[in-house]
Amino acid sequence: MDQTKQDEEYGYDLFPERNKGKFKTGSIAQSLFSFNHKCQVMLHFAMETSPYAKLLLSAMKNSGCKVFKDRHFSCEDCDGTVSGGFDATSSQIVLCQNNIHQQSHMNRVVTHELIHAFDHCRAHVDWFNNYRHLACSEIRAANLSGDCAFSNELARFNFGVKEHHQECVRGRALRSILAVRKISREEAEKIVDEVFSSCFNDHAPFGRIPHSKKDAKFAYRDYENRDRYYANL
């Protein structure tokens, strides 16, 4: 496969700064610097304060995949409206500094991508050849990151919260797959449906679906306390 085609098939065309080795100069570089600086500050804040991120960072450390801010995250300009991505080749999380402007958005993107990183760490995911693996991790990321939580308040007037959440997770997983792989919508739907129930019910490392920041705080507390009674044996 030639490089351009391969880039497209694996979604690298959405992340033009990946593997380019280019360094921009001049006034653009300065404005990029401020975008970049803001992105770094928001990332740091997410890692220190978001219970979702803290739980995932802790779980990764315990699985032997300690995350380092400078090595495993990269703030970059991205094409289109993508907010982030996980580059399995370099084990790096890309944060789209030109598309993330609010801390709450940063927290969700960091959480979503850390779930992919967690899956990568624990399960040896075959991201490129096995669409079922990719679909499973996208379902888990949409389900557990809070991506589908904040619109619940509005939706509960129309649907049961549970049904809405599931539909939201399914829809988001589909869109994520279609953004990075050149497959048909029908094919993607089939794959998502095949793996949906087992992946939707896999809540590791949260132990529950964190529907709100409060849920995530409880999940984090439980996670931190899980070995407490063995600690002094």
Binding site for Zn ion (CB under 5 A): 138, 141, 176
Residue 96's DSSP bridge partners are 76
Of 32 and 92, which CB lies nearer to Zn ion in the complex structure?
92
Rg of the chain (C-alpha set): 18
Contact 54, 205 (CB under 8 A): no
What does residue 87 show for φ and ψ, rounded to 5 degrees?
Answer: -95, 100
Rounded least distance, CB 209 to Zn ion, Å: 17
Kindly provide the b/e burial profile for residues 37-49, where b requires at least 16 CB atoms within 10 angstroms of the residue's own CB.
eebbebbeebbee
113 classed as catalytic: yes
Write down the catalytic residue from 9, 113, 163, 187: 113
Nearer to Zn ion, 14 or 57 (CB): 14
Q: Closer CB to Zn ion, residue 118 or residue 220? A: 118
The partner residues of 95 in beta bridges, in order of sequence, read 75, 84
Contact 149, 174 (CB under 8 A): no
Of 136, 130, 132, residue with least CA distance to 115:
136
Closest approach of Cβ 11 to Zn ion, in Å?
10
CB count within 10 Å of CB 57 equals: 21
The Cα 134–Cα 119 span in angstroms is: 10
| b/e burial code for range 111-145 (CB count within 10 A of at least 16 → b) | bbbbbbbbbbbeeebebeeebebbbbbbbbbbbbb
**Beta carbon nearer to Zn ion, 32 or 134:** 134
Give DSSP secondary structure letters for 6-33: HHHHTTGGG-TTTT------SHHHHHHH
Q: How far is the CB of 226 from Zn ion (least distance, A)?
A: 26
- CB closer to Zn ion, 51 vs 84: 84
Residues belonging to the active site: 113
